[in-house]
Structure 1
Amino acid sequence: MVNHRGHHSKNLSTFRNRKSSFLSFTLYVIILFALSIFIFMLYSKDILDDEHNTPLLRVENSKHKQLLENQLWEAPSSHGLHPCVKPTSKYKAAPVLDRYMTVRCNGGLNQMRTGIADMVAVARIMNTTLVIPQLDKSSFWQDTSTFSDIFDEVHFIKSLQQDVRIVKELPKELASLPRARKHFTSWAGLSYYEEMMELWKDHQVIHVAKSDARLANNYLPLDIQRLRCRALYHALRFSPSIESLGKKLMERLRSRAKRYIALHLRYEKDMLSFTGCTYGLSDAESEELRVMREKTSHWKIKNINSTEQRISGLCPLTPMEVGIFLQALGFPRSTLIYIAAGEIYGGERRLLELTSRFPNIVFKEMLATQEELRTFSNHASQTAALDYIISVESDVFIPSHSGNMARAVEGHRRFLGHQKTITPDRKGLVELLDKLEAGLLEVSSFSSLVNQLHKNRFGAPRKRGAAPLGIKGRARSRLEESFYQNPYPECICKSETGMR
């Protein structure tokens, strides 16, 4: 009896324990289920919030990206300035006199172009008839092109007929007469050429052996300065064949991208040899450049310290340095870059240092057909004219060295409305590049410093730079900014009276 009751109590206790366990398990399941629903609801809300907010974030990011891109490409404000080359009311038509000036140009395309513009002004000052200049055929490029091969000769004569009388050739009866052969002094002023007019007493023809830098940058009459601009920007139009192909190449560039950079990569054999810059080159390449410099008689300086040249900012930037510079400025890898240059020293191997960072690079040989370029082959000045056209019309122009073309293109772009031109501060940039290479600068800090260094080097309007204080005479002229690099204020102004 006792045993039966004990057994029953034990069974009841077991039942109660099982019931309690079942209820605990059920409660646990319910709590877990409720928690799962709560988490799901919360997560769903986040998803819905994300779906609602993401398009807005994308729009904001897109706007920010577009703003940065516009800042990268947009030209500086011209502040209402415009070309002004019209003569003053005191300017008179050119007199017709029976005396002539023949000219032999020297240098590459842009050295000859600016020299011809100078000779137009000199002919005006000396009251002489200008014979169409002979172009340099003995420079580094050995180009046999004549004036009419490169320029529109008829347009040149006609557009300047109120300024200077220009003829295609010397009259036959004067061809055998003795000539006064002159090397006019460099950067000469008005009084010098007025003195040179004494030559007309004994000669009917003056032959000028060199045309480059024959006029001062400053302190010339306003009408003479504006005549130089009319000659360079209006009268010296390229030949129809060059203009036509240049336009086609630009259209093909625009079909590839909305915007493009024209990079004057002056990393060519003659420039490296002339400047004595051998940074990054092999011993064999350095020796080849030294021998070339030694053999070029009209290059006066033979022994050059390459390291000192580079530290002083006198070397053209290497393809690698240009690539790092463009990255630091913020240009994306996809940027279309037109290389306005001749053959790059070191070829594809050296160019790879740039294309590895910016692969979207083109040369004129990639834009034009072989048939289109056939007539230009072995005529470096004519192909340089194509580079000039494309560079002037580019969205951004960047020269790797301040040579004749770099200065001429910059000046032309200023004349046309201060189109964006980025002129690298090579001295400051080399210092930063060396610190970056040595691990003394982080990439982000390097980019910030590069942009700070170039914030005022985008081609904004400014008056032409003068020589340092205390410098006088011809030394002053050498140290002044070139008139053709920045023709402001004589040929760029706000006044409506000077427009033409």
Structure 2
Amino acid sequence: MARSKNMMKNPLITITPSHLLHCFSLFPPNSILFSSPRKNSSRTQKLCSSTNLPLFFLFLLILFAFFSVSKVGLIPISQNSIHCSSLDSLSSFSSSSSSSSSETFSPMLLTSLSASISLMDEDVPRLSNSVMSPLPAHGMAKNMTEEEKDFWKQPDGSGYKPCLEFGIKYRRESVKISKEKRRFLVVVASGGLNQQRNQIIDAVVIARILEAALVIPVLQVNLIWGDESEFSEIFDAEHFKRTLQADVRIVSSLPSTHLVPKQSVERKIPHDISPGWIRARFFKQLNEEGVLILKGLDSKLSKNLPSDLQKLRCKVAFHALRFAAPIREIGNKLARRMWIEGPYIALHLRLEKDVWVRTGCRTGLGPKFDRIIAEEQKSSPEYLTGRLNMTYDQRRLAGLCPLNALEVARLLKALGAPSSARLYVAGGDPFGGTQALLPLKKEFPDLVTKEMLAKEGELAPYINRSSVLAAIDYIISLSSTVFMPSHGGNMGRAMQGHRAYVGHKKYINPNKRAMLPFFGNASISSTEFNRIMKHLHKYSLGRPQLRDNKRGRDVIAYPVPECMCNS
């Protein structure tokens, strides 16, 4: 016999709701207690006859236990997970139930079920609805050439979808950890927006490892970025707390019982720290003092963590860290203005002055600008990041320099981008001003920035707030048909992983080390140059790449296979 489509399943029991609900409608409480059973030969009434009432009450008891266990969490059945096969079994049950005749079910039972479902919806937000998603993809226009169609074509995602299924041990431990009230972790996040995001993600994971409650992270004012925004001005704090409530208890501030006049701040944290190192170093101290303050977390936590902690990283990055409502509103508004005109390319250009100083590279703008950068590097050698013994040419050929506007234009043309393509430029003000973008604008005249997209006064509240402006760039870039960074960095990695997580949207990862030697070879024809560039980037266009091929990869940039599955 075929199974009913309205079958409810969980690891403990299997129930067919239609029989129970029908029994309840046939035997309301007053008839069960005071009336004699009806004689009827129908199969359903026979199932619900007085001889089967003990079995019926047993089913009711099991049903009650099912909802109680799910709600109370003695052995949590659903830990706010995303399953590949079914993202929302509860809603499917609800919709299938509502499609049945209302006369069949007891009003009292329907009210009870409705209340239970609404309580679960209110207390545990559905992850499948919390992802910051891009605007829908555009179709191919009829007048496009084959090369243009090939450029705008999206990569094959191989069926990978978000899949955050936490293990039984993790879920069991969550019951205690999510209610922690004695130990508190405070984290100070520094740097630009995406650098701060990385530290916030790791802060949640470290709080989980230490079984501590996490105080909403403090965003440190950076001398370069100059943004004094607090967490709640950049991110949706209530959504952050609500989304992670099953994993870590998050509070807005330290309770008065834990405030101390002089609290030591842990700054000297080595790289690649493991969960074992964290517990050995901080757990006893946290137990004794009740508060632990960490600063300087950037890239300190190991990229290789147990599977459940990797999933937690993805949950924080792609679900919990939603931008604040005003930022989402202006970001989505500007994204729609780009999107409504058709497919577009988003470029994250790292052409700011501090980038050239830190990388030790030349700007491509000529001797005048290169001298300015060289003088600043000499006066502030501490800003130069690594590889001090390399010349400029060695740095460039090693792929350590950002692509300048001319190199970006040549690569896009070689990969088939039409000259009519609309380009959105994300990032800070380029060193050299509009002159820095001239080679790009010459090849792609339809080039816009958020300032050009915005109407008068729309960005006025966010002047000199670089983190907010970076968040707006993030939203617009996420909805682009194609995204390409001119240099790696936190924004590039965040966008790479987020675009993969929402369906493997096209992401061009410039293979600088392999391609730059051909840029200076004048003997190669443009046709041959284009062929070489396409060949070099055949596997760098956003298709699924497994993180476990290179264990040092960040799961936030490579969410397959820990956070995505295709079965």
Return the TM-score normalized by structure 1. Answer: 0.80
1:233 to partner: Cα distance: 0.8
Deviations 1:122-151 (A, max 9, x none): 101101111111112124111111101100
Query: What is the distance in 2 between the residues matched to 1:454 and 1:174?
Result: 54
Q: Residue 287 of structure 1: CA displacement?
A: 3.1
1:94-105 alignment runs, 5 A limit? 94-105=178-189
Query: Helix, strand or coil for the counterpart of 2:315?
Result: helix
Which amino acid counterpart does residue 452 of structure 1 have in structure 2?
H
2:161 matched to 1:82? yes
Counterpart position of 1:407: 493
Q: Does the 8 Å CA contact 1:112/1:211 hold for their aligned counterparts?
A: no
User: Paired residue for 1:338?
Assistant: 424
2:509 partner letter: T
Q: In the TM superposition, what are the counterparts of 1:13-412 in structure 2 within 5 Å?
A: 65-90=144-169, 91=171, 92-93=174-175, 94-183=178-267, 184-196=269-281, 197-218=283-304, 220-255=305-340, 257-293=341-377, 294-295=379-380, 297=382, 299=384, 301=386, 305-412=391-498
Residue 42 of structure 2 corresponds to: none
SS of residue matched to 1:211: coil
Q: Report the equivalent of 1:12.
A: none
C-alpha separation between the residues in 1 aligned to 2:259 and 2:368?
50
1:426-460 alpha-carbon deviations (Å, 9 max, x no partner)? 1222111110xxx2111111111111111111111
Separation in structure 2 between the aligned mates of residue 455 and residue 170 of structure 1, nearest angstrom: 51
Displacement of 1:64: 9.4
Name the CA shift for 1:299/1:157 in 2 (closer, same or farther; >3 Å).
Answer: farther
Question: Is residue 446 from structure 1 mapped to residue 446 from structure 2 by the alignment?
Answer: no
Deviations 1:55-74 (A, max 9, x none): xxxxxxx9795443322112
CA-atom RMSD, angstroms? Answer: 2.0
Q: Give the stretch that moved more between structures: 283-292 or 342-351.
A: 283-292
Match of 2:511 in 1: 425
2:363/2:369 contact within 8 Å kept:
no
- Rounded Cα–Cα distance in structure 2 between residues aligned with 1:386 and 1:65: 30
Deviations 1:324-369 (A, max 9, x none): 1111111111000000111111111121111011000000000112
Q: Is the 8 A contact 1:187 1:215 kept in 2?
A: yes
The CA deviation at 1:107 is: 1.3
Shift, 1:492, TM fit: 0.9
Contact 1:178–1:203 (8 Å) recurs in 2: no
Q: Is the 8 A contact 1:414 1:459 kept in 2?
A: yes
Give the match's secondary structure for 2:346: strand
- The residue type paired with residue 361 of structure 2 is C
Find the residue that maps to 1:372 and give its secondary structure.
Answer: coil
Letter in 2 for 1:464: R
Does structure 2 conserve the Cα–Cα contact (< 8 Å) formed by 1:103 and 1:134? Answer: yes
Q: 1:299 & 1:72 partners in 2: Cα distance?
A: 37
Offset of residue 297 of structure 1 = 4.3
Q: Which has the larger radius of gyration?
A: 1
User: What SS does the aligned partner of 1:101 have?
Assistant: strand
Measure, in 2, the Cα distance between the counterparts of 1:369 and 1:149: 22
Letter of the 2:416 counterpart:
G
Among 555, 558, 561, the residue aligned to 1:483: 555
Q: CA deviation at 1:177?
A: 4.8
Once the 2 structures are TM-superposed, how far is the Cα of residue 181 of structure 1 from its aligned partner?
2.3
Q: Distance in 1 between matches of 2:389 and 2:372?
A: 14
C-alpha distance in structure 2 between counterparts of 1:279 and 1:304, whole Å: 17
Matched letter for residue 69 of structure 1: E
1:487–1:139 Cα change, 3 Å: farther
Partners of 1:115 and 1:313 in 2: how far apart? 26
Taking CA–CA contacts closer than 8 Å with sequence separation of 6 or more, which of the two structures ends up with the larger relative contact order? Answer: 1
SS at structure 2 position matched to 1:342: coil
AA matched with 2:373:
L
Q: Where in structure 1 are there 5+ consecutive unaligned residues?
A: 1-61, 468-476, 496-500
- Structure-2-length-normalised TM-score: 0.71
Instruction: Give yes or no for contact 2:414–2:530 (8 Å, CA) kept in 1.
Output: yes
Distance in 1 (alpha carbons) for counterparts of 2:394 and 2:322? 40
Cα deviation per residue 1:173-216 (whole Å; 9 max; x = unaligned)? 32225434223332211211221212224321111012322321
| Rounded Cα–Cα distance in structure 2 between residues aligned with 1:229 and 1:425 | 26
Q: Report sequence identity in percent.
A: 37
Question: Shift of the alpha carbon at 1:465?
Answer: 5.8
Which amino acid is the alignment partner of residue 161 of structure 1?
Answer: Q
User: Cα gap change, 1:464/1:237 in structure 2, threshold over 3 Å: closer, same or farther?
Assistant: same
Cα offset, 1:481, TM superposition = 2.0
**Match for residue 90 of structure 2?**
none
Q: What is the alpha-carbon distance in structure 1 between the residues aligned to residue 393 and residue 312 of structure 2? A: 42
Deviation at 1:398, TM superposition (A): 0.6
Q: 1:371 to 1:453 in 2, by over 3 A?
A: same
C-alpha distance in 1 between matches for 2:468 and 2:144:
40
Contact 1:108 1:136 (8 Å CA) reproduced: no
Q: What displacement does 1:299 show?
A: 4.7
Against the structure 1 CA distance between its residues 169 and 63, is the aligned structure 2 distance closer, same or farther, given a 3 Å change threshold? closer
Distance 1:205 1:344, change over 3 A: same
The answer for unaligned runs of 5 or more in structure 2 is: 1-140
Secondary structure of the corresponding residue to residue 189 of structure 2: coil
